[in-house]
Amino acid sequence: MNNITKICCIGAGYVGGPTMAVIAKKCPHIKVTVVDLNEQRIAAWNDPDVSNIPVYEPGLSEVVAEARGRNLFFSTDVESAIDEAEMIFISVNTPTKTYGAGKGQAADLKWIELCARQIARVAKDNKIIVEKSTLPVRTASAIKDILQHTGNGSQFQILSNPEFLAEGTAMEDLDAPDRVLIGGDSTAEGQNAVQALVDVYANWIPRERILTTNVWSSELSKLTANAFLAQRVSSINSLTELCEKTEANISEVAKAIGTDSRIGPKFLKASVGFGGSCFQKDILNLVYIAKSYGLDEVADYWEQVIIMNDHQKRRFANRIIKNLYNTVNGKKITFLGWAFKKDTNDTREAASIYVADHLLHEQADIAVFDPKVQAPQVYADLDYLRTREPAENKSGVTVVTDPYEACKGAHAIAILTEWDEFKGYDWQKIYDSMLKPAKVFDGRNLLDAAKLQEIGFQVWSIGSSI
């Protein structure tokens, strides 16, 4: 089955949508159907106005506009798409379990299992199943076990092909990835399946960037790549606190460290803490897997990355409180940014949510402005924590669609997301409209602190003693 002409992807989310859009663009000879149970999401992907597609990624709407209806389709008819496809990507969510054994650490694989059972029920011929979701090492054996019992003689090959795209740069990452990783069985059938997927990617990716491994190495590499990346952020963030005590400057320290070619300059940007749907979930999952093999020291080592990240978010909120004379009760604090990073509308695990929650405990009045996040999402994020009644979140937080309006009458501004547009605001106008002393807490080291101080702001940038 080396010549793939029909692909189905189960899961039309932040990974399934962009990934399949790029495959469809690069492989006009392949029909790509993306399916999801969520009718609203599929309707949004099919919205005639491409600016309404449910995932905001620079460059994505253009690709959807080009390929949709030609060889890219979005549908809720999961069964037909499975039936028709030769290759099925599983790209459903794998969040941290919120109940039962492994609660708070293990990955919840119920959606993965549902997909496997649905494929087993529907498939009438041989298929290649591709794990695109991030999964605990050895999940492929569970999927195989389910698929082997269909009773109709169909043969399935399970490949692991984890996705390394980062949100906000997904289209560039998919267009020119550092590598594509494909894990498969060492049997002849397994290697044929690997080759079929290699051939799909080889339509635009140089062959030397396509790595092939066994299934388990591929599954484990994804979890550990995220753990390594997050570890760098926690490492640099751990030093911000030390910089603040010693008058060392975190940006200077990061540059000095990162110019060592063995270390490298990327992923050393100090912040209010990492967010996103992947880092925390994947490290917790790694911790759980290590513990389940009795590897307590390994588990403790990686758990520290999360402990440091939680500390960083809490520390930022406490810094605001302390600096506002130990009380924020009734004080307006403006959040510029709610998304977990710039250039995305995704807010999952964003540091802003936890900083807001902490400040709401202290009865602050929070105003939020984010260029791509709307009010219902902000309230949903806070309500999801279940720390207080939804009505209390509504009364404590106002979501504003104009940044200048958001800052008017505020005691302080907190920068939670590094949106480029914040740098170009009229900061004199903002200063004039605020209560004095007007304070800025820059959780991303985004703004020019010296310029703001010239205007009259009191500025605190993370990892700096000013």
Q: Which of 57, 167, 343, 370 binds ligand UDX (CB under 6 A)?
A: 167
CB of 132 or CB of 411, closer to ligand NAD: 132
Give the nearest distance from C-beta 134 to ligand NAD in angstroms: 4
CB of 120 or CB of 452, closer to ligand NAD: 120
- E strand intervals along 132-173: 156-160
Q: Which residues contact 227 (CB under 8 A, 6 or more apart)?
A: 282, 283, 286, 302, 305
56 binds ligand NAD, rule: CB under 6 A: no
Please choose which of ligand NAD, ligand UDX, none residue 274 contacts, taking the beta carbon within 5 to 8 angstroms, the exact cut-off set by kind.
Answer: ligand UDX
Cβ proximity of 6 and 17 under 8 Å = no
CB of 171 or CB of 328, closer to ligand UDX: 171
Give the nearest distance from C-beta 425 to ligand NAD in angstroms: 28
Which residues within the stretch 256-285 sit at the binding site for ligand UDX (CB under 6 A)? 267-269, 271, 274-276, 278-279
Which of 8, 115, 278, 407 is catalytic? The answer is 278
Long-range contacts of residues 402-407, Cβ cutoff 8 Å, at least 24 apart:
402/369, 403/336, 403/369, 404/429, 404/430, 404/433, 406/334, 406/336, 406/367, 406/368, 406/369, 407/334, 407/336, 407/367, 407/369, 407/433, 407/434
Q: Among residues 358, 356, 364, which one has the least CA distance to residue 381?
A: 356
State the alpha helices, DSSP H only, in 202-272.
215-246, 250-258
> Cα separations (Å) of 93 from 98, 192, 419?
14, 28, 26
462 binds ligand UDX, rule: CB under 6 A: no
Please choose which of ligand NAD, ligand UDX, none residue 11 contacts, taking the beta carbon within 5 to 8 angstroms, the exact cut-off set by kind.
Answer: ligand NAD
Distance, CA of 257 to CA of 264 (rounded, Å):
8
Please choose which of ligand UDX, ligand NAD, none residue 459 contacts, taking the beta carbon within 5 to 8 angstroms, the exact cut-off set by kind.
Answer: none
HSE value, Cβ hemisphere, 13 Å, CA-based, for 241 = 16
Q: Which residues contact 405 (CB under 8 A, 6 or more apart)?
A: none
Give the nearest distance from C-beta 338 to ligand UDX in angstroms: 12
132 binds ligand UDX, rule: CB under 6 A: no
3-state secondary structure of 325: coil
Which residues within the stretch 83-102 sit at the binding site for ligand NAD (CB under 6 A)? 91-94
163 binds ligand UDX, rule: CB under 6 A: yes
Give the distance, in angstroms, between the CA of residue 273 and the centroid of all CA atoms in the same chain: 13
229 binds ligand UDX, rule: CB under 6 A: yes
Which residues within the stretch 165-194 sit at the binding site for ligand NAD (CB under 6 A)? 165, 167
Give the nearest distance from C-beta 226 to ligand UDX in angstroms: 5
Which residues within the stretch 111-140 sit at the binding site for ligand NAD (CB under 6 A)? 111, 114-115, 133-134
Please choose which of ligand NAD, ligand UDX, none residue 340 contacts, taking the beta carbon within 5 to 8 angstroms, the exact cut-off set by kind.
Answer: ligand UDX
278 among known catalytic residues: yes
Distance, CA of 50 to CA of 68 (rounded, Å):
10
Q: Among residues 197, 124, 184, 125, which one has the least CA distance to residue 157?
A: 184
Cβ proximity of 413 and 430 under 8 Å = yes
Residue list, annotated binding site: 11-16, 36, 41, 92-96, 133-134, 163-167, 222-226, 262, 269-275, 278-281, 340-341, 348, 444
Amino acid at 32: V
Binding site for ligand UDX (CB under 6 A): 163-167, 226, 229, 233, 267-269, 271, 274-276, 278-279, 340-341
Which residue numbers are catalytic? 278
Binding positions for ligand NAD, rule: CB under 6 A: 10-16, 35-38, 41, 78, 91-94, 111, 114-115, 133-134, 163, 165, 167, 277-278
